[in-house]
C-alpha cells in the first residue's frame, strides 16, 4: 500500500515510544482533570479532552505495533492523530480570550439580571470576527484531515487508476489541512502581539502572560512546521530509516504544551487582572459573551 511520507512517519507504530507517550498523556489528562475539579475553566476542559484522546491514540498505536498490516488500526490512528488536533489549538485561542479579559483597557462593566457587575471584553467587531471565524474553522480543518487519511488508506492493495486517484486526493486534502493549521497558529502569534501592543499598559517584553502565550504558540508552530516539511518531503529510504526519530519528536511539543498549561507555568495568577483582582467571570465562558452577556462553552 502506498502511503505519504507524513502518514508513514507520524503514525508508524513503534511500541516503546507509544507506551512512553501514552503514559505521559495519561498523566497530563489526570493533571487537567484535577484542575477541572478545582476550577472549571474551559481551557482545562479542552486540554483534558485533548490529553485523553491522545492517550487513546497511543493505545491504538500500541495495538497497531502488534499488527502493522491492519488498515483499520491505521485509519483509527490517523483519525485520532488529526481529529483531535484542533482541540489543542482551540484551547490556546481560548487562553488568548481569557487573557484579553484580564487586560484593563479591554474591559467594560455590565449589569446582569442579578445586578451583579460583570466584566465583558469590548473588542471591535473586526477583532471579534477574526476570533469567531478561526474557532469555527478549526474543527473543519481536522475533519478534512480525517477525510484525507481515509482516502489514503481505504482502498485495495491492487494498484489501479482509482487507488492512485484516491491517494492523490487524500494527500492534497491532508496538505491543505496541515497548512490551514499552520496558518491558524501563525495568526494566533500575530494576535497575541497585536492585543499586547494595543490594549496592555505594559511594554510587551515585560508581560509574563504574553510570554506564556508565546511559548505554547511557538511549540505548536514548531510541530506544524515539522509536519508541513514532512508532508511535502519525498519518501526516501533515508527518511524511512530514521523515521523513529520523527516519531519521537512529533508528540513532544504537545506534551510540553499540556504540561505547561496544566500548572507547571500556567496557574490561577494568569487569570488575574493586572491590578491583581481575580477575574471570576471567565470560569467557563469565552469571548462569545461579548455583547449579550451570555457565557458560552
pLDDT-based confidence at residue 83 (cuts at 50, 70, 90): confident
| pLDDT value of residue 262 | 77
Q: What is the pLDDT of residues 48-76, one digit of tens each?
A: 999 999 999 899 888 888 887 777 887 88
Range name among 75-79, 174-178, 286-290 with the lowest pLDDT average: 286-290
Q: How far apart are CA 221 and CA 183, in angstroms?
A: 9
pLDDT-based confidence at residue 189 (cuts at 50, 70, 90): very high
| pLDDT value of residue 201 | 72
- State the distance between the two ends of the chain, measured CA to CA, in whole angstroms: 42
Which whole number is the average pLDDT over 276-285?
A: 42
Q: How far apart are CA 297 and CA 286, in angstroms?
A: 7
Whether pLDDT at 28 is above 60: yes
* Ramachandran angles phi, psi of 109, nearest 5°: -95, 125
pLDDT-based confidence at residue 1 (cuts at 50, 70, 90): very low
Range name among 39-48, 79-88, 101-110 with the lowest pLDDT average: 101-110
Which whole number is the average pLDDT over 118-122?
A: 58
Cell reading at 84: 483531535
**133-141, Cβ contacts within 8 angstroms, sequence gap of 24 or more:** 134/93, 134/184, 134/187, 134/188, 135/90, 135/93, 137/180, 137/184, 138/86, 138/89, 138/90, 138/93, 138/181, 138/184, 139/86, 141/86, 141/177, 141/180, 141/181, 141/184
| pLDDT value of residue 6 | 44
Cell reading at 94: 481560548
The length of the chain, given as a count of residues = 297
137-167: b (≥16 Cβ within 10 Å) or e: ebeebbebbbbbbbbbbebeeeeeeebeebb
Q: What is the pLDDT of residues 263-272, one digit of tens each?
A: 766 677 787 7
| pLDDT value of residue 296 | 39
pLDDT-based confidence at residue 220 (cuts at 50, 70, 90): very high
Of the segments 51-60, 100-109, 116-125, 154-163, which one has the largest average pLDDT value? Answer: 51-60
Residue whose C-alpha is closest to residue 192's, from 216, 169, 222: 216
| pLDDT value of residue 49 | 94
Contact 149, 7 (CB under 8 A): yes
Which whole number is the average pLDDT over 213-241?
A: 81
pTM (2 d.p.): 0.80
Whether pLDDT at 282 is above 50: no
Q: Which fold has domain 18-289?
A: Rhopdopsin 7-helix transmembrane proteins (1.20.1070)
Which whole number is the average pLDDT over 111-126?
A: 60
Of the segments 10-14, 76-80, 217-221, 232-236, which one has the largest average pLDDT value? Answer: 217-221
Q: What is the DSSP letter of 281?
A: G
| pLDDT value of residue 4 | 44
| pLDDT value of residue 243 | 65
Which whole number is the average pLDDT over 221-226?
A: 88
Contact 85, 258 (CB under 8 A): no
Q: What is the mean pLDDT of the chain?
A: 77
Which whole number is the average pLDDT over 16-27?
A: 89
Whether pLDDT at 157 is above 70: no
Ordered by start, the domain boundaries in the chain are: 18-289
Range name among 22-31, 39-48, 266-275 with the lowest pLDDT average: 266-275
Amino acid at each position: 500500500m502506498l502511503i505519504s511520507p507524513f502518514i508513514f512517519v507520524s503514525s508508524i507504530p513503534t511500541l516503546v515510544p507509544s507506551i512512553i507517550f501514552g503514559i505521559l498523556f495519561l498523566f497530563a489528562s489526570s493533571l487537567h482533570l484535577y484542575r477541572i475539579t478545582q476550577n472549571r475553566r474551559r481551557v482545562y476542559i479542552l486540554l483534558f479532552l485533548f490529553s485523553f484522546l491522545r492517550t487513546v491514540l497511543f493505545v491504538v498505536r500500541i495495538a497497531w505495533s502488534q499488527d502493522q498490516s491492519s488498515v483499520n488500526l491505521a485509519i483509527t490512528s490517523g483519525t485520532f492523530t488529526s481529529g483531535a488536533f484542533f482541540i489543542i489549538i482551540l484551547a490556546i485561542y481560548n487562553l488568548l480570550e481569557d487573557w484579553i479579559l484580564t487586560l484593563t483597557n479591554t474591559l467594560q462593566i455590565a449589569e446582569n439580571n442579578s445586578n451583579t457587575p460583570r466584566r465583558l471584553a469590548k473588542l471591535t467587531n473586526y477583532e471579534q470576527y477574526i476570533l469567531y471565524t478561526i474557532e469555527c474553522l478549526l474543527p473543519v480543518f481536522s475533519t478534512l484531515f480525517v477525510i484525507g487519511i481515509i482516502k489514503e488508506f481505504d482502498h485495495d492493495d491492487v494498484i489501479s487508476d482509482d487507488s492512485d486517484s484516491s491517494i492523490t486526493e487524500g494527500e492534497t486534502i491532508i496538505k491543505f489541512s496541515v497548512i490551514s493549521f499552520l496558518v491558524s497558529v501563525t495568526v494566533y502569534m500575530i494576535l497575541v502581539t497585536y492585543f499586547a501592543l494595543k490594549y496592555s499598559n505594559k511594554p510587551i517584553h515585560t508581560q509574563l502572560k504574553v510570554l506564556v502565550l508565546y511559548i505554547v504558540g511557538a511549540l505548536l508552530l514548531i510541530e506544524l512546521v515539522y509536519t508541513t516539511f514532512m508532508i511535502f518531503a519525498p519518501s526516501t529510504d533515508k527518511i524511512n530509516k530514521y523515521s523513529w526519530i520523527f516519531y519521537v519528536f512529533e508528540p513532544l511539543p504537545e506534551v510540553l504544551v499540556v504540561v505547561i498549561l496544566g500548572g507547571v507555568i500556567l496557574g490561577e495568577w494568569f487569570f488575574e487582572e493586572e491590578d491583581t483582582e481575580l477575574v471570576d467571570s471567565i470560569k467557563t465562558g469565552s469571548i462569545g459573551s461579548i455583547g449579550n452577556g451570555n457565557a458560552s462553552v
